[in-house]
Structure formats: structure tokens, C-alpha cells
Amino acid sequence: MIAHKAVLLLGSNVESRVGILERALVRVDSLGHRERVSEVCLSADVAGLGNDYANVTAVYSTEMTLGDFCCALAAIETEAGRIPSSKYTGIMPLDIDVVIWDGAVVSPDDFSRPYFRREIIG
């Protein structure tokens, strides 16, 4: 199989946010090989609805397709307590976005976030 490279942005804005991110990374480890992960970075909720976010960026290699990888990430979000209304209520237990896939930016909004660019781009 062909290995793909994914750069992820994970975030949480609930009280136990750092622990949630740590557990999420362990779950994502089952989907591929973790190459590196950033330190935790705090940022304001860009929508202005909720608490500050704890964010980490992570680089993985995986043999999964982008579609299968995204479905698996969505299941991890759900396991962490994310529900369909999370984005609108400002309570986000876990958000995982694929920002770069095989060198192509697939989430321009997340790519432009200063904390993402600082950790991945340098």
C-alpha cells in the first residue's frame, strides 16, 4: 500500500482539554504512524462562543485513503463527546482536522491559523 502523509490540527475547549488531546493522539496512533507532535498552544475561540482552545498539530503517515482517514477521525471525535451541535454551542470536546494531505492544503482556514503555521511551517 501507498503511505500518505497527513498533517492534523487537534483542538479542545472543555475543562479537561489537554487530557482529551493526549487521549485523542493515542487513538489516532491506531490509524498510522505518528511522526511528530507539537507542544500544546492555547488560542481564543475564533467564533467567540466558547472557552479558549488547547491545540496541537501532529504529522502522521497512514496507508488509509483520505476519506477513510477522515471517517476514522470523526469517530474519535464522537468517542470524545463531540455532538453535531458542538460547533454552534461553543462547547468542543474534540475537533480533529486534516489540514495537509500529501503536501496539499485541504483546509485553508486551519492552515492560516497562526498557531498551526508556527508549529508546522516554522
Split at pLDDT 50, 70, 90, the class of 96 is: very high
Predicted pLDDT at 33: 97
CA–CA separation, 55 vs 52, rounded Å? 10
Q: What percent of the chain clears pLDDT 90, i.e. is strictly above it?
A: 80
Neighbouring C-beta atoms of residue 106, cutoff 10 Å: 16
Rounded mean pLDDT, 1-23: 94
pLDDT digits (tens, 9 = 90+) for 48-67: 888 999 999 999 999 999 99
Domains of the chain: 4-120 (3.30.70.560)
pTM, two decimals, is 0.92
Rounded mean pLDDT, 77-92: 93
Q: Are 36 and 95 in contact (CB under 8 A)?
A: no
Any residues with CB less than 8 A from the CB of 25 and at least 6 apart, and which?
Answer: 10, 34, 37, 56, 58
CA–CA separation, 92 vs 51, rounded Å? 9
Find where cell 475547549 sits.
13
Q: Are 21 and 10 in contact (CB under 8 A)?
A: yes
* pLDDT for residue 115 is more than 90: no
